[in-house]
Structure 1
Amino acid sequence: MLLQFECLRKHLIFDKAYILQCYEREVFIGENRAKPKYYFEVSLKNFIVFHTEQDYFGFSIPYRGKLKLFHANSKKVRELKLLLSGKILFGDLNQFYLQKHQLGHGSFSYVNLLQNLETKEMVAAKFLSKQWKHKTNTERMKAIILKLFKGNNKRKQYSIIFESSKYNQNKRGL
C-alpha cells in the first residue's frame, strides 16, 4: 500500500467517513478495509478531479455516472495527487497550470507551453483534438505518446495529455 487516509463524504443529514487505500494499480475507498464501496483502477482509462480553494480540500471520482466528492486533509490529497500523477487522467487542469503560448500544431493536435502553478516549472503539453478521437484508437495513441517520453534521459520529463474541443474548454490530462 502506497497511501492510506481518512476521507469524508458529506451528506444532507449525516456525513460518512471512509478510508482511502491507494495501491500501485488500484484505489479502494470504504468504511473498512475489507469491504470497499468505491474502487477504481489506476490507468489512463479513469480520471479523478482534485478540488482546491486556497489549498487542496478534496477530490471527486466517477461512480455510477456521477462524480462523488470526498473531503480530506490537504496534505493527504496532495500526496494522492503526486502518487497518481502520470498514471491517471486529472479533470480540469486549469487549476494546476497556466497556459503561456502555443509552441506548434499538427493535423490532430497542438502543443502549448504551460507553467505549473505550484512549482513554477514550465512544461509542454500536447492537446489532442476530440474530432480526431473518433477517427482512430485514442487510447492506443496515448500509450504511444507516453512511450516517447520514457527515455533514459537524466533530466526530468513531464508528460501531459489533454483532450479539448471548441465547445468544452475543460481539460483532462495526466
Structure 2
Amino acid sequence: MPASRDDLMEFFDSLGIKVTTVDHEPVFTVAESGDLHELIEGGHTKNLFLKDKKGRLFLVVALHDATIDLKKIHQLIGGQGRVSFGNADLLMEVLGVTPGSVTPFTLINDREAHRVTPVFDAAMMRHDILNFHPLSNDATTTISRDDLLAFARGCGHEPQVLAVSEEAQSAGL
C-alpha cells in the first residue's frame, strides 16, 4: 500500500524535517499551477518519471519552466539509450502515485526496492526553498533544499545533482 499524505508528514517528523503545506484545487499540469506560484514562495517544479532502454527508472526533478532535451538527457543521467516516460501503471507500481502527482516525495514508496534513480537539476538546487505535491496534486508542500536532500537520503537514495536543464547547462552549473 503506497504511503499517504499523513504517512509522508510523519516521515518528515521522524527525520526532523519542517515543511508547510497549502491545500488547493487539484492541478494536473505545470500550466495549471501558474496561480500558485504567486501565492507560495520558493521554486516551483516539474517531475519527469523516465525509463531507459534497459528498464532503469529515473525521477528527474527541475524547475517548472526548465527546458529539458529528452533526446539527450540519457547521456547526462547515465541512461542506456534514449529515455521515454514511464506509463501510469509503472508509476503506480514503483512510486505509488498517479500522473499529475509525481514528486520527489514519492521516494517514500521506493525505500525498499530502490528502483528509481532521483536526479535533481542543478539550477533547481540553487533555490533555498522548493515546492512539491505531497503525494497528491491537491496540495503543495514547501521544503528547504537541504531538507529535500535529507529526505531523499532518509528514503535510502543518494540523488544525483546534475545540470540536466538547458538553463543549468548554459549557466555552467
Q: Which has the higher strand share?
A: 1
**TM-score scaled by length of structure 1:** 0.26
Q: Which has the higher contact order (CA 8 A, sep 6+)?
A: 2
Q: Which has the higher helix share?
A: 2
Structure having the higher Rg: 1
**TM-score scaled by length of structure 2:** 0.27
